[in-house]
Structure 1
Amino acid sequence: MFDATHSTAPPEGAPEAGDEAPLDAYSRVVSAVADQVGPAVVRVESRRPGRRGGLGSGVVIAGDGLVLTNSHVVAGTRRVRLGMAEGGDTDAEVLGDDPATDLALLRAELPRGAVAAVLEDSKVLKRGHLVVGIGNPLGFESTVTAGIVSALGRSLRSQSGRLIDDVIQTDAALNPGNSGGPLVAASGRVVGINTAMIAGAQGLAFAVSSNTARFVIGEFIAHGRVRRAHLGIAAQTVPLARRIALATQSGAHGVRVGEVMAGGPAELAGLRVGDIIVALDGIMVAGADDLLRLLNADRIGHAVQVSLLRDGRRMTRMVTAQERVQPASASGSPG
């Protein structure tokens, strides 16, 4: 006779045999990302005589030796030391340093078969997406953390006072030393470069988007620096209500002006805090990274037509773009 007290059936509500528990699925994704991208993450050390150097992380983005990191990690130096994930150190040359986006590009002699990460289109991200941070916080190498995308299109003022646009906010735990390391999507592709965390606050960390990184890398390779125009605003990507987008013939997103710099081109042209930029010279602007890309060197000193929404109405303003002055690199600020 069957004795129910010795039944091996799972308790009511438990997953059937072969079903995957949610925690296991989450763990598998994080583990797979760490295995795939972890070997491409390096330790970056910069030293300057008589001054504090930088210590952070970087990620190999090309097997021929290109490494992406933060500007504040290289600390204004021309050469840095890399510690490879698989062991061993090597020197690297700083090919480009752009404090305006807190990005720097390095070139090093890497071992044959070095693993390189792939930069994803950061526009695929949505709030709530799983992301994984990999780096060397506080000197603990190859540390993996995970969280979600908390917000997109943020603007961030760094410790040196510069504004960085199109920043990803995440609650993945970051600490000094994570700077310059990759923020990776569940696909195993890099969607951001970790750049900052808010001291004393939990769950507030930021990464420069991969789309901004791809633009900056192209400028470094072509010109050795990023020469760009600016409008004199701080801005962030915002969604537009469907009815407003249809009524104003705009896209699903725009760029909201969060700050107008005194005496800058935008103030002189009459732009205000709260205006939403939707096009530049007739080209649709769907995010802060689009605005950065369109404000290239060709527009320096030229009047550009800015299409914007104000009080639900579409209007245009002519703004004479100025060259963005390259601020001095942060000197050894912690990652």
Structure 2
Amino acid sequence: MSRLHDDAPATLEDARPVSPTAGLNDSHLMDAYSRAVVDVVDAVSPAVVHVQVRKVHGGRVGQGSGSGVVVSPDGLVLTNNHVIDGTQSISLSQGDGQRFGARLIGRDPDTDLAVLRAETSERLKYAHLADSKKIRPGQIAIAIGNPLGFQSTVTAGIISAVGRSLRAENGRLIDDIIQTDAALNPGNSGGPLVNSAGHVIGINTATIMGAQGLCFAVASNTAEYVLTQILAHGRVLRGVIGIVAEHVVLPQSLRHSFGLTQPGAIGVRGVQSPGPAEAAGLIAGDILISLDGAPVAGVDDVARILDAKRINQKVTAEVLRGGEKHEFTLVPEERN
């Protein structure tokens, strides 16, 4: 699936000073930041849906809900796995009150993502997925949800950090997590985190209770990979090499010394035992710069490279260790 982008992002006018007698039109009082948020909400909110589910737990029937975002005009919807887990039926509603059913195409508990198909013949408004590797701390982040059917619940803030890890409900670590201070609530789960161009940079997934300003989203590159895998296979096939990874920025001097073009790489925080990385000789502190000849600039690159065809096949890994480049041969295993 190819990534979709707007032909050209909206151009925001420069903020202009106004006199106290400029009239009653509030648009003249908005600063550039406010106009940016308003423009994004106007563009993206039609693609945000309320996800309502009927669940069965312990023989008892209950209701659950969250948000989702339409990512294709034929009704593909991204949401959180925890929103739809254990459901018997799913329905979607838009901000204008229109309702329709949905069916589950596939889900990936390891990333807390799920893909739905809206059961409608209408072409739906949809949001575009951004390249999340391009986002940087300090950028504007806008979280849009449709909790409990309330249209376009919006919070705004900044990107606090990228390349975080977060433990999913099944105990797996989700890599390439975006941290933001844009406030989230349970009803915003599954809704989009959007940049100032109106592109989706993440799928809102979690908050840490009692920790002010710690909110998290699964990066859009991970979401796009999961979406593509589910459409192709019905589930996500993964090869794993047995490392705990984090994104690291490569200093210009290091990139020049080793002829590297990517701005970042993967820092090995830990090596699982037993596992392919341990068997090959990787250790904590290594910096993984390539797999099978492909540059590794972020955690999502590892997931993309270690696809189904590389499971149980020899893969060459290049790492930096102690100021030198080393090469190892790994045999990825299929992730259970």
Question: 1:308: which partner in 2?
Answer: 319
Aligned runs of 1:267-278 on 2, under 5 Å? 267-278=278-289
Q: Give yes or no for contact 2:95–2:150 (8 Å, CA) kept in 1.
A: no
Question: 2:10: which partner in 1?
Answer: none
Q: Give yes or no for contact 2:54–2:88 (8 Å, CA) kept in 1.
A: no
Q: Which of 189, 211, 226 is the aligned partner of 2:199?
A: 189
> What stretches of structure 2 of length at least 5 have no aligned partner?
1-15, 20-26
Question: Structure 2 length normalisation: TM-score?
Answer: 0.86
- 1:320 matched to 2:327: no
Shift of 1:86: 1.4
Question: 1:258: which partner in 2?
Answer: 269
- 1:48 matched to 2:55: yes
Aligned runs of 1:77-88 on 2, under 5 Å? 77=87, 79-88=89-98
Shift of 1:215: 1.4
Question: 2:84: which partner in 1?
Answer: 74
CA distance, structure 1, for counterparts of residue 285 and residue 63 of structure 2: 40
Q: Give yes or no for contact 2:265–2:287 (8 Å, CA) kept in 1.
A: yes
Q: Which of 300, 303, 313 is the aligned partner of 1:292?
A: 303
CA distance, structure 2, for counterparts of residue 115 and residue 23 of structure 1: 27
Measured against aligned partners, the alpha-carbon deviations of 1:229-250 in whole angstroms (never above 9, x if no partner) come to 0111221211011111222233
CA distance, structure 2, for counterparts of residue 35 and residue 308 of structure 1: 45
Shift of 1:226: 1.1
Q: Which of 147, 170, 174 is the aligned partner of 1:164?
A: 174
Aligned runs of 1:1-335 on 2, under 5 Å? 16-17=17-18, 24-51=31-58, 54-77=64-87, 79-110=89-120, 112-137=122-147, 140-250=150-260, 251-325=262-336
Compared with structure 1, are the counterparts of its residues 28 and 111 closer, same or farther at alpha carbon in structure 2 (3 Å cutoff)?
farther
Shift of 1:281: 1.2
Q: Give yes or no for contact 1:78–1:93 (8 Å, CA) kept in 2.
A: no
CA distance, structure 2, for counterparts of residue 169 and residue 22 of structure 1: 31
Q: Give yes or no for contact 2:226–2:236 (8 Å, CA) kept in 1.
A: yes
Compared with structure 1, are the counterparts of its residues 34 and 317 closer, same or farther at alpha carbon in structure 2 (3 Å cutoff)?
same
Q: Give yes or no for contact 1:56–1:73 (8 Å, CA) kept in 2.
A: yes
Shift of 1:22: 10
Secondary structure at the counterpart of residue 243 of structure 1: helix
Shift of 1:73: 1.2
Shift of 1:99: 1.1
Shift of 1:98: 0.9
Secondary structure at the counterpart of residue 54 of structure 2: coil
Shift of 1:269: 2.0
Q: Give yes or no for contact 1:178–1:194 (8 Å, CA) kept in 2.
A: yes
CA distance, structure 1, for counterparts of residue 162 and residue 300 of structure 2: 11
The number of residue pairs the alignment matches comes to 310
Measured against aligned partners, the alpha-carbon deviations of 1:230-280 in whole angstroms (never above 9, x if no partner) come to 111221211011111222233321011223223122222222222111000
Q: Give yes or no for contact 1:138–1:176 (8 Å, CA) kept in 2.
A: no
Question: Structure 1 length normalisation: TM-score?
Answer: 0.86
Measured against aligned partners, the alpha-carbon deviations of 1:164-215 in whole angstroms (never above 9, x if no partner) come to 1111111110111211100011001111111111111111111111111111
Secondary structure at the counterpart of residue 297 of structure 2: coil
- Root mean square deviation, CA, Å: 2.2
Shift of 1:17: 4.8
Shift of 1:135: 0.9
Question: 1:12: which partner in 2?
Answer: none
Q: Give yes or no for contact 1:135–1:182 (8 Å, CA) kept in 2.
A: yes
CA distance, structure 2, for counterparts of residue 203 and residue 110 of structure 1: 38
> What stretches of structure 1 of length at least 5 have no aligned partner?
1-14, 326-335
Secondary structure at the counterpart of residue 39 of structure 2: helix
Measured against aligned partners, the alpha-carbon deviations of 1:43-85 in whole angstroms (never above 9, x if no partner) come to 1123232356542110011121111111111114464221222
Secondary structure at the counterpart of residue 152 of structure 1: strand
Secondary structure at the counterpart of residue 271 of structure 1: coil
CA distance, structure 2, for counterparts of residue 204 and residue 260 of structure 1: 27
1:169 partner letter: Q
Compared with structure 1, are the counterparts of its residues 283 and 139 closer, same or farther at alpha carbon in structure 2 (3 Å cutoff)?
same
Structure with larger RCO (C-alpha < 8 A, sep 6+)? 1
Shift of 1:137: 4.6
